[in-house]
Amino acid sequence: MRALVQRVSEARVRVGSEVIGEIGPGLLIFVCAMQGDSKAEAAQLVHKISRLRIFRDDAGRMNRSVADIKGAALVVSQFTLAADTKSGTRPGFSKAAPPTEGELLYRYFCDQMRQTELPVATGEFGADMKVSLVNDGPVTIWLDTDDRKPRSQ
């Protein structure tokens, strides 16, 4: 599973003219389920993100988590994180989980984020969404559970 995490002072997601998710200070989390991912990868990613110390402490160092600052999370599905750009100029997305599996893992990820007791807002899986944000820092972190798996030789 992949995630692009941005530290934000605010973020919102619209579908059409309706704001369906909005947060103040916290994390905007774009997530993508990859082929072969399971609930274990989603839970691992939630664990990592919820404890990620990327917020400033009193000394100005990145030493606090989103929970430490009493922030929130806005979780948006984004299958384009699976883009393969190794050849040509048109990205391929064949490594993304099929839509049915992707949606199940996205929903599970969101449910697990809520279990951390953070306020969680979400986008709408598969919708054409407009996301706006104010990136704080800017701080943007790329996470991929595949980076933790042993690679075959």
- Give how many domains the chain has, as a whole number: 1
The C-alpha atoms of residue 142 and residue 91 are separated, in whole angstroms, by: 18
Assigned domain for 88 exists: yes
Assigned domain for 48 exists: yes
Range of the domain at 11: 2-144
**Nearest Cα to Cα of residue 81 among 16, 8, 146:** 146
pLDDT exceeds 80 at position 153: no
The C-alpha atoms of residue 34 and residue 97 are separated, in whole angstroms, by: 4
Please give the pLDDT value at position 146.
86
Assigned domain for 152 exists: no
For residue 105, the domain's CATH number is 3.50.80.10
| Catalytically active residues, by annotation | 78-80
What pLDDT, in 10s, does the model give residues 87-144?
889 999 999 999 999 999 999 999 999 999 999 999 999 999 999 999 999 999 999 9
pLDDT exceeds 90 at position 151: no
Please give the pLDDT value at position 147.
74
Assigned domain for 153 exists: no
What pLDDT, in 10s, does the model give residues 14-72?
999 999 999 999 999 999 999 999 999 999 999 999 999 999 999 999 999 999 999 99
Please give the pLDDT value at position 148.
58
Mean predicted confidence (pLDDT) in 63-88: 96
Q: Hey, how many other C-beta atoms are within 10 angstroms of the C-beta on 15?
A: 14
Assigned domain for 151 exists: no
Assigned domain for 150 exists: no
Q: Structure tokens of 24?
A: 């103040």
Q: Dihedral sign, CA of 111, 51, 129, 97?
A: negative
Tell me which amino acid residue 144 is.
D
